[in-house]
Structure 1
Amino acid sequence: MMQRIEVTPRIWQRILNLRSARGKEALNGHLSAEEEAALQLYGPLARRDAGPLTLAQIGQSLDGRIATPSGDARDVSGPDGLSHLHRLRALVDGVVIGVRTALHDDPRLTVRHCEGGDPARIVIDPQGRLPDEAMPLRGDGIRRIIVQGVDRARPRGIEVIRLTPNGGWISPAAIMTALRRAGLGTLLVEGGGRTIAGFLEAGLIDRLLVTVAPVIIGAGPQGLTTRDPIQTLAQAMRPETRVYSLGSDILFDCDLGRSLGREKAVPPSRQDAALQS
């Protein structure tokens, strides 16, 4: 059953309080069903008492596209889908993107459509291709991290994590281990589709959030394309899923296991899946 969410100022403040360990403060007044749904969706993502958590968010069209063939992805998500993405950024310690996304979109990765602080910005750049002046690396007081497979110097203030690539790729498991050691507990893998798929195949995603906007693109890159495709539907992941109406977009909130205490069903052949996009 689909639930409609409404993120009122009082509910969002309560969720931010959960993030800052002040979540026991009471709410005054009756909560609407839509407010309860918002608390149900975002509350568990804000908590810090359940250990590290890795989220992935992807916004796509009705036909599963994330951009046009030319790469235009600016309006794939509707305004409510965009606000949802910024809420996720406000709730995590760091946002992870691949170098292709960084080069093509030059994203700011900041929180602008809701109240909340900006997360650390993390770019996976195996070949060291990202220019130092790229938006994700700009100096604005927010932590900046680049995961590289080459010895390339970066300007002062940019943290460099040097990991050995394998055939031009860096293992998602190695990346995750390094980021945890760097003190980043709750992470959002935001793009691109190949980067999300790499972490997904490696069994490193706890919650996969997919927003679908009512637009048909017809061609262009798909949301998720794994490197090790399954042969039968019996092998497909079938996560427990809640469905929410955000307004302009529909959200599928997929629980991949850890938050419910279940072992993730990831085929052994996928444990070492890697990425570079």
Structure 2
Amino acid sequence: MDQFRTLSDPPYALYEPMLRHRGPEPFVIAQLGQSLDGRIATPTGKSRDINGFSGLDHLHRLRASVDAVVVGVGTVVADDPQLSTRRVKGRSPTRVIIDREGRSSRSAKWLGCDGCRRIVFSDNAEGWPAEVERIGGDGSPDAFSPAFIVAALAARGHHTILIEGGASTISRFIDARRVDRLHICLAPIILGSGRPGLQLRPIDELTDALRPRANAYVLADGNVLYDCDLRSPARGDTHATD
């Protein structure tokens, strides 16, 4: 970890990678909020208040910093998010849902007609509002893969992309090496049980673990935000010695 700081005002360093991105390849950031013991929800799926107001403000600033925000349909069904920037200044991004079977309610909040572009990756063509762009699989086994989704969004002019949830969706994108930056917000709460956060492919050796370069920030209400650069290894020797 390079730095540990108190975050009273949002530092530009957290959002510059998205705001300044001009490269030919899309820039993808993922955000995950969890408890100290690595839980993202209770066993019954309650998760909305784990990270408090400061964590929610940070999430909305992330949304305002990107072209598109992506969630899986499980998040839509569980939380019915608006995916807007209503807590901060800034435009709301394009809302993107991964919903192969079309499970999302056709009256879900993400479908609200508020001037934002809406895209759904789904093989189910029935019932979507006319203004919603549907991208189907056309029978391809890779049509709902992270690489396909990122490429399809980039082709539509979305070059900075936030993968917001849920944990299984974020894990798939990390396993596919399609995430450049990862923000993990740790709340000072211990659930003791519930749904775990990241679940990546198993490894046998610690040398196979991801060791990103990271900065940590203490938010106003005691949450700790880790800003992890998945494209840059941690500085110094990463291997412990006896």
TM normalised by structure 1 equals 0.78
Give the letter aligned to residue 8 of structure 2.
Answer: E
Contact 1:96 1:190 in 2 (8 A): yes
Contact 2:143 2:149 in 1 (8 A): no
> Deviations for 1:101-149, whole angstroms, at most 9, x for unmatched residues?
0111000111122111111110000111112111111211111110013
For 1:200, the equivalent position in structure 2 comes to 174
Give yes or no for the alignment of 1:130 onto 2:94: no
For 1:2, the equivalent position in structure 2 comes to 4
Give the letter aligned to residue 60 of structure 1.
Answer: Q
Q: For the structure 1 residues 3 and 163, does the alpha-carbon distance in structure 2 shift closer, same or farther, using more than 3 Å as the test?
A: same
Give the letter aligned to residue 238 of structure 1.
Answer: R
Give the letter aligned to residue 147 of structure 1.
Answer: F
Identity across matched positions, percent:
43
For 2:193, the equivalent position in structure 1 comes to 219
Contact 2:142 2:148 in 1 (8 A): no
For 1:162, the equivalent position in structure 2 comes to 136
Deviation at 1:164, TM superposition (A): 4.3
> Deviations for 1:75-107, whole angstroms, at most 9, x for unmatched residues?
111211111111001101111000010111000
2:64 to 90, 98, 104: 90
For 2:219, the equivalent position in structure 1 comes to 246
Contact 1:95 1:121 in 2 (8 A): yes
Following the alignment from structure 2 to structure 1, what is the Cα–Cα distance between the partners of residues 176 and 167? 14
Deviation at 1:172, TM superposition (A): 1.3
Normalized per residue, the structure richer in helix is 1
For 1:27, the equivalent position in structure 2 comes to none
For 2:122, the equivalent position in structure 1 comes to 148
Following the alignment from structure 1 to structure 2, what is the Cα–Cα distance between the partners of residues 151 and 157? 13
Write the mapping of 1:5-84 to structure 2, written as runs, cut at 5 A: 5-7=7-9, 38-51=11-24, 52-84=26-58
Following the alignment from structure 2 to structure 1, what is the Cα–Cα distance between the partners of residues 139 and 85? 32
Contact 1:149 1:170 in 2 (8 A): no
Deviation at 1:153, TM superposition (A): 5.0
Q: For the structure 1 residues 166 and 63, does the alpha-carbon distance in structure 2 shift closer, same or farther, using more than 3 Å as the test?
A: farther
Deviation at 1:72, TM superposition (A): 0.6
Following the alignment from structure 1 to structure 2, what is the Cα–Cα distance between the partners of residues 63 and 74? 17
TM normalised by structure 2 equals 0.89
Partner secondary structure for residue 202 of structure 2: coil
For 1:209, the equivalent position in structure 2 comes to 183
Following the alignment from structure 2 to structure 1, what is the Cα–Cα distance between the partners of residues 61 and 35? 20
Deviation at 1:44, TM superposition (A): 2.5
Q: For the structure 1 residues 181 and 238, does the alpha-carbon distance in structure 2 shift closer, same or farther, using more than 3 Å as the test?
A: same
Following the alignment from structure 1 to structure 2, what is the Cα–Cα distance between the partners of residues 43 and 173? 24
Deviation at 1:74, TM superposition (A): 1.2
Following the alignment from structure 1 to structure 2, what is the Cα–Cα distance between the partners of residues 94 and 180? 10
Following the alignment from structure 2 to structure 1, what is the Cα–Cα distance between the partners of residues 71 and 177? 17
Gaps of 5+ in 1: 9-37, 262-277
Following the alignment from structure 1 to structure 2, what is the Cα–Cα distance between the partners of residues 252 and 144? 30
For 2:113, the equivalent position in structure 1 comes to 139
Normalized per residue, the structure richer in strand is 2
RMSD of aligned Cα (Å): 2.0
